[in-house]
Amino acid sequence: DADVTQTPRNRITKTGKRIMLECSQTKGHDRMYWYRQDPGLGLRLIYYSFDVKDINKGEISDGYSVSRQAQAKFSLSLESAIPNQTALYFCATSQNTEAFFGQGTRLTVV
Amino acid sequence: GENVEQHPSTLSVQEGDSAVIKCTYSDSASNYFPWYKQELGKRPQLIIDIRSNVGEKKDQRIAVTLNKTAKHFSLHITETQPEDSAVYFCAASRANSGYALNFGKGTSLLVTP
């Protein structure tokens, strides 16, 4: 079944560490997105990519960077993690309008 | 940028009653309005969507209405069932931003038997 897969599913890291969250998809979609979910705040867009050569900042890109290594892979990096980046992170893909989400990565920064 | 407001933040109904969740948006260029359902510990999943050239859309027990002039849209769930209990998110997006979604903050719906 075509899907969106995130790794790791859970991660605890220390303040100041660099961490990468990975997303891969077998749906063949061109567009990929990274969202962050915090209780009471909904999902907020961090970065999005139309294709390998097109990366765009979202609403809350500060402190994050991304890499689109291939059509199927889109990674999110926290250069120097801080506690307020503790959240549930979702990757999503779309080809037209409907977005399909990965299972999420729960990140805790201590 | 786009700002999406969603109300109420929590909603409790009796099984069989109707539930209504309302959203407003600020960007008149937004032209696609999906609703996502997120069950506890799960990923968000699309339940219904509407484009700006349509005023209403229905799929079995769920319906969405859109008022472009007032910039608001609503989700209606009829004959609610306990399995409808979840967090519901509205979103607004537009074609020239790749349909990147701007979400409301969510409504936690509880349907009690």
Task: Average the pLDDT over A2-29 and give the result.
Answer: 96
Question: Per-residue pLDDT tens for B77-95?
Answer: 999 999 999 999 999 999 8
B98 contacts A41? CB cut-off 8 A? no
Res B26: pLDDT:
96
Closest A-chain CA to B87: A42
Closest B-chain CA to A40: B105
Q: Chain-wide mean pLDDT for chain B?
A: 96
Q: Count Cβ atoms within 10 A of the Cβ of residue A58 and give its class: 0-12 exposed, 13-18 middle, 19 or more buried.
A: buried
Task: Average the pLDDT over A11-19 and give the result.
Answer: 97
Distances in whole angstroms, Cα of residue B52 to Cα of each of A22, A45, A52, A89: 34, 22, 30, 29
User: Residue A90 is encoded by which pair of tokens?
Assistant: 């979702």
Question: What's the pLDDT band for A1 if we cut at 50, 70, 90?
Answer: low
For β-strands A10-13 and A64-70, DSSP reports them as unpaired
Phi-psi region of A21 (alpha: psi -120 to 50; beta: other; left: phi over 0): beta
Question: Per-residue pLDDT tens for B56-65?
Answer: 999 999 999 9
CA distance B106 to chain A (A): 6
Q: Concatenated DSSP letters for A13-32?
A: E-TT--EEEEEEESS--SEE
pLDDT: is A74 or B1 the higher one?
A: A74
